[in-house]
Amino acid sequence: MEYGITGFGAYVPRLRLDRAVIAAEHRWMAPALKGLARGTRAFCSWDEDAVTMAVEAARDALDDRQRHGIRTLLLASTNFPYADLQNASIVAAALDLELALRSADCGGSQRAATTMLAQALAAGEGEALLVASDRPLGKPASTQEMTYGAGAAALTLGGEGVIARCLGTASISAMFVDHFRASGQRYDYFWEERWIRDEGYLALVPQAVGAALGKAGIGIGAITHLVMASPLRGIADAVGKKIGFAGKPADALDDGCGYAGAAHPLLMLAAVLERCRPGERILLVGFGQGCDALVLEATDAIADFKPRRGVAAVLADAVKTDAYLRMLSFQGSIELEWGMRGEKEVKTAQTDQYRSAGQIMAFNAGKCRACGAVQFPQLAYCVNPACCAPAAQFDPFTLVDSPAAVLTYTADWLSYHPAPPLYVGFVQFAVGARLLMEMVDIGPAGIDVGMPLRTVFRIKDRDTQRGYDRYFWKATPVAAG
C-alpha cells in the first residue's frame, strides 16, 4: 500500500507589523535595519502560542474529514509553552482526537519538523497528523526581529488519498552551530553569516540532497520545486545554484509572515502543495545541526484536495497595526504597568479541567435527544422549559465549526485585558446555542451586531505565578476588517 501525505493546512497569526515601523523605532542606534524594512511580519497576539497555532493549522488540514482513524500526533517546535507537560496532548484534546493516540513533542532544532516528517514517512504506520508550530523571538533592534515571524503548518499522512508520495530521504547530523538558545533564554545567539552560509548550508545541504536524490533514482533536473527555509535571506538561491537547481526556490513567505522557525519548512511546503500539479517533484530541505532532504512527488489526487483556507488565504487574512510596543508587550519583551486590575488570581483547578475536558478543550455542547436543544455549558437538565430532560439524554455536539454571529457586544476599557479593549458579548450559534464569549482579532473597523463569527482556540488566562496557561475557545470575525 502506498503511504504518503494525504492533506495539508496552515495558520499565520492575523496581526501584522510593517517592518518599516520596526526600523523607524531603532534608527537612532541601528540605521542599517532600514535595508530589511520591506513588507510586513506576523506576530502572535497575547493569547496565541505554539499550541494554539498548531490547533488552527490542524483544523485547516482536517476541515470536516473524519478524525477517528488518526493514531499518531506529532508536534514540532522550538518554542513550546511547556518544558515538562506534553504540548501535543493539549492539541489532541482541542481537536477532540481519540484517547487511543500516540502523541509526542519534537524539538531542539530548526529541522525538527523535517526530521519528524522523514521518520513518519519511513514508519508508514496508519493515519498520522504532523504539525509544526513556532514563534521565534528576536531581540529588539536585531536582524532577527526584522526577519522573524510566526506560523504553523499541518500535514496528514496515510495510505488512502495520497496527494504526495515520498521517493527518497536522507539525513546527516553535524555539530555545526549556526545559532543556539540555551534553556531558559529568550533569544537566539547567531554566529557570523558568511560562516553559516559557506561552511554550513553550502557544505552540508548538497551532501544530504545528493544522497536523497540517489535514493529516489533521479537527478536534480527532475525537481520542480526547491523548498528550503532559512532565517538568512538569499541562502536558498545560493544552495540552489550549488546543487544545480535550474528553477527559482519556493517563496520564502517573507512578506506577511516572516521566518517561522521550525514550522517554516512545512509552511513553505504547504504553499507549494497548494499550487502543485500532478507529477511535479519537490525537494524539501531542513537545516539545523545537520540536514534533512526529502524528495516528494505529487500524485493525481492533489488536484482534488483543498485545505479549509490554505496558506494564501491565511496570509491575506491580516489585521495590520503600527504599534511596535504592542508586539513587544504581547511577546513579553517589555513589562507594562497594568494597575491593580491586573492583579487577579487565575489558579486552575486541574481536577475540574480534566473532568470537563470535553466541554472546555473540545468545546462540546450538549444536544438533548428529547427535544434537540443545544446548550453550553451542559447543565443537569435541558434548558428548554418544555422539556427539562436530564443530562443523561444529552449527546456531545461540538460548537467548534458551527456558524455563529454577534448577538450583542461591548468594548470594555475598564476591566484588565492584555489587549484592550476587551471585546465580549453574546454569540448566537446557528444550531441554537447562545454563549457569552470573548471576541478577538478585532480590526480597525470594529464589529457590529449580526457580523459572522468563527471560533478559534486561544489562551484564556495566564497564571503567571505558577506558569500555567488555561486554554479555551474564543470568537473572531470570519474576515479580518
Q: What is the pLDDT of residue 354?
A: 79
Q: Is residue 338 part of a domain?
A: no
Q: Is 238 buried (19+), middle (13-18) or exposed (0-12) by CB count in 10 A?
A: middle
- Residue 348, pLDDT score: 77
Are 309 and 420 found together in one domain? no
Kindly give the parts of the chain with pLDDT less than 70.
Answer: 481
Give the whole-angstrom CA distance, residue 287 versus residue 206: 11
CA 23 vs CA 26, 191, 285: distances in Å:
5, 22, 31
- The last residue of a domain, from among 306, 330, 354: 330
Q: What are phi and psi of 16, to 5 degrees?
A: -130, 140
Domain containing residue 300: 4-330
- Smallest CA-to-CA distance from 435 within 478, 377, 396 is with 377
Residues 317 and 415 in one domain: no
Q: What is the pLDDT of residue 214?
A: 97
CB–CB of 457/473 below 8 Å?
A: yes
Question: Do 317 and 443 lie in a common domain?
Answer: no
User: Is the residue at 13 inside a domain?
Assistant: yes
Is there a single domain that holds both residue 302 and residue 403? no
- Which residue among 288, 310, 330 closes a domain? 330
CATH number at residue 170: 3.40.47.10
Location of C-alpha cell 536534480: 220
Any idea what the CATH number is for the domain that residue 412 is in? 2.40.50
Residue 358 domain flag? no
Number of domains in the chain: 2
Which tens digit of pLDDT belongs to each residue from 39-57?
Answer: 999 999 999 999 999 999 9
- Cβ neighbours, 10 Å, residue 194: 8
274 and 176, same structural domain? yes
The whole-number pLDDT of residue 140 equals: 95
Domain shared by 158 and 285, yes or no: yes
CB 263 within 8 A of CB 151: yes
Residue ending a domain, among 330, 350, 378, is 330
In a domain, 119, yes or no: yes
Q: Is the same domain home to 33 and 168? A: yes
- Residues 318 and 14: beta-carbon distance below 8 Å: yes
Alpha-carbon 452 to chain mean position: 23
Domain presence at residue 461: yes
- Residue 409 counted as domain residue: yes
Full-model pTM: 0.95
Whether residue 104 lies inside any domain: the answer is: yes
388 belongs to a structural domain: no
Q: How much is the pLDDT for 349?
A: 74
